[in-house]
Amino acid sequence: MVLSLTVAGCGSGDGRGTAAPGTATTPAAPPEASATTPAPEAPPSPSPTRTYPLSTAPRTIPAVRDHEPARGPGWRPRGGSAVVVAKGSGALADEARLLAGELGAAYRGEAAARPGDVELALNTGQAGGPESYTLTTRGGRVRISAPDQAGAFYGTRTVKQALRSGGVVPEGVVRDRPAKPQRGLNVDIARKHFSAAWLEDRLREMADLKLNQLGLHFSDDQAFRIESASHPEVVSEPHLTKAEIRRVVALANRLHISVIPEIDSPGHLGAVLRAHPRLQLRNVQGTPRQGAIDISDPESARIVDDLLREYAGLFPGPWFHIGADEYQALTVRDPAASYPQLAGAARRKYGEGADVEDLATGWLNDRAAVVRAAGKKAKAWNDGFFPDGAVSAHRGIEVEYWTGKEIGAREPVEYLREGREVVNLNDEYLYYVLGEPNDFTYPTGRRIYQEWTPLVLRGSSAVPERYADRILGGRFAVWCDLAGSQTPAQVASGIRMPLRATAQKLWDPARPRLTWPAFRTLADRLDSGAGRR
């Protein structure tokens, strides 16, 4: 993708000594000297100068957090401009090549920066923390320095957006960093098939918004949507091939986005159970429960663990989501009476005082151990964590808080008081549920932008600020309960502004400087020149 820009000539770094076009004049000639009178010395000609107001911050989504203004013309690409990496910063070659292609500029590799260039530099000792960067514009050049590759990449996103929104990278220094380390989008590709190309378009969109996680919920009651070698019998049509997933993951890696796979269990396993009906959970009357696997049967664990190990190898990122929500055995008045096989298994495994919740917690811990052995950190939904049982959920499992509507709902602060790390997927603001079933309504960007912060984990009330460090971030989530309600293109359009608002509030939860109408106008301007890369 090449930015379409109107390029004006740039003066020197501070503009001094450069005549503004049309302002220079030729001084009048002195009177002719007589033969006997020395000609008077001509007064020095004034040197016209260009003056500049103090710069303002580049207009980007998310907004940069700190900008030190300066006087000067800023930076635009011009004939001969190139992107280079500083000596010893060769690891940034991919980021530099991408920016060069977007700017329509040359890439000169590891070389000294010249006037008109953009330079990328790694500085591992630089203050600011992971994913931070400093962007300095002066002397007709731009320098992006960062302690890691992700930070340098985000600096290039700021350059790209600044040119698109204002035609120039403003003079001065940007110091920028995210408030939260986890920022992303979750997509239910189980209930509705999305193509690899659609997912790649979302990754490109996310990258410019400095989002760094894409969650893929690919197994549910309706379908199992990724090719499997260990259990091909569970795979639905249509589905994504492993080659397509590798392509998606490769693009994500280049854009500094981790793809998080999710196999939800012990509920939401209907697609797996259609191929293995013997493992479906049945109550004392023999009635099956939709999507629920019988966790008292060792064969249930074997099949799920086969799948977890297989996909841990396909997705190289640091996380694996193991679900744990809405297990139907726990939605009845008396689980032990309805499912005596589960109650008996709990007592045998954990002692006479154990119950069905303890057996479910043990299942959660065992699945977390499987992904941990594969080098992954487990995530699970908040309604899979139970208090005061004979068994406690492993402390290393991240709580993904989505709802307070479940039976026995626990307030978010309970998880935080326990010292657990929490990720915000508040269904009041961040759930885009196709067809709007069960009292869901499509979320609006305006409401997220004006009301929500990462502290608002449930409903519209914030938890105390003292817990902020335990809230790792959040993801906006697409759920396809009524899959035919929208086309993939309609989904992409519907989540456009909510995703931008979410990105803003995860990067900086403070009250935004722009009004909502101004933010929306900026988004339109930035998106008007968007292209593929």
Dihedral angle, C-alpha 415, 418, 420, 423, nearest 10 °: 20
Dihedral angle, C-alpha 239, 244, 249, 250, nearest 10 °: 180
Chain centroid offset of residue 169 CA: 24
Which is catalytic among the residues 119, 326, 421, 428?
326
Q: How big is the CA angle at 240 (ends 239 and 243), to the nearest 5 degrees?
A: 150
The radius of gyration of the chain's CA atoms, rounded to the nearest angstrom, is 29
In this structure, what DSSP letter does residue 232 have? Answer: G
In this structure, what DSSP letter does residue 102 have? Answer: H
Enumerate the β-bridge partners of residue 215. Answer: 186, 260
Q: Tell me which residue of 520, 495, 477 sits closest to 189, measured CA to CA.
A: 477
Q: How big is the CA angle at 478 (ends 477 and 482), to the nearest 5 degrees?
A: 145
Q: Residue 241 is which amino acid?
A: T
Give the containing element (helix H, strand E) for 502.
helix 496-507
Phi-psi region for residue 433, left (φ > 0), alpha (ψ -120 to 50) or beta? beta
Parallel, antiparallel, or unpaired for β 141-146 and 258-265? unpaired
Phi-psi region for residue 246, left (φ > 0), alpha (ψ -120 to 50) or beta? alpha
479 Cβ contact list (under 8 Å, min separation 6): 188, 191, 217, 431, 432, 433, 434
Q: Residue 66 is which amino acid?
A: D
326 in catalytic set: yes
26 Cβ contact list (under 8 Å, min separation 6): none
524 Cβ contact list (under 8 Å, min separation 6): none
DSSP codes of every residue in 341-386: HHHHHHHHHH-TT--HHHHHHHHHHHHHHHHHHTT-EEEEEGGG--
Separation CA 378–CA 396 (nearest Å): 7
85 Cβ contact list (under 8 Å, min separation 6): 92, 93, 96, 109, 110, 111, 119, 120, 121
Largest CA distance in the chain: 129
Q: What residues are labeled active site? A: 326
